[in-house]
């Protein structure tokens, strides 16, 4: 099976749902950010600090291309991965893309506690973070909406959401 790529904004549940989805489908799970951190032996925050966003996006792109050659994997991409270097087109051509969509309120609520690990929002107040998320979602949405499947991330248990996505993938695969 070609790779399954989960895309969406940070905090939408890509890693949590991705792990569960991979388990449900009996596939390997890869978190692209963790993959990069292991390869470079630095945190995403440190890579942003060292290379800037442009340099980090180059690193992310190269690693995404490498991972897209794998079979039988579920890949949780970084929140911005779909929006740079024609990555969205690449993922659609080499795998199955799923957009986990979440409301701004849900994203703010989820991101408030762990924002120090997220370079784009680490120094922002809650109000600034909400404004930033709203504005960047407007810019990213056209890329995210190119996914083959759109799933609304809800407060539903991640296990139920993963099960629902697995059913949708199998339904889509049976039509192909």
39 marked ligand binding residue: no
**Was 12 annotated as part of a binding site?**
yes
Q: Is 79 known to sit in a ligand binding site?
A: yes
pLDDT tens-digit readout, 75-85: 999 999 999 99
* Domains along the chain with CATH numbers: 4-103+141-167 (3.40.50.300)
Secondary structure letter of residue 76 according to DSSP: E
Q: Taking 80 as the threshold, does the pLDDT of residue 97 lie above it? A: yes
Mean pLDDT of 104-123: 78
pLDDT confidence of 140, banded at 50, 70, 90? very high
For residue 139, count CB atoms less than 10 angstroms from its CB and return exposed for 0-12, middle for 13-18, buried for 19 or more: exposed
140 is in an annotated binding site: yes
Q: Is 18 annotated as a binding residue?
A: no
pLDDT tens digits for 20-67? 999 989 999 999 999 999 999 999 989 989 999 999 999 999 999 999
């Amino acid at each position: 099976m070609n790779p399954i790529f989960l895309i969406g904004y940070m905090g939408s549940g890509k890693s949590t749902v991705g792990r569960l989805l991979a388990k449900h489908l009996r596939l390997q799970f890869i978190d692209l950010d963790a993959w990069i951190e292991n390869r470079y032996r630095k945190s995403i925050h440190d890579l942003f600090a060292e290379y800037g966003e442009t340099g980090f996006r180059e690193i992310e792109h190269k690693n995404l291309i490498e991972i897209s050659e794998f079979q039988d994997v579920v890949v949780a991409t970084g929140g911005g991965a779909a929006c740079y270097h024609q990555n969205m087109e690449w993922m659609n051509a080499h795998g199955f893309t799923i957009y986990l969509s979440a409301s701004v309120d849900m994203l703010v609520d989820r991101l408030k506690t762990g924002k120090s690990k997220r370079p784009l929002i680490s120094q922002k107040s809650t109000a600034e973070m909400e404004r930033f998320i709203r504005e960047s979602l407007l810019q990213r949405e056209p890329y995210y909406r190119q996914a083959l499947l759109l799933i609304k991330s809800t407060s539903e248990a991640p296990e139920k959401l993963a099960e629902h996505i697995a059913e949708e993938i199998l339904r889509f695969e049976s039509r192909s």
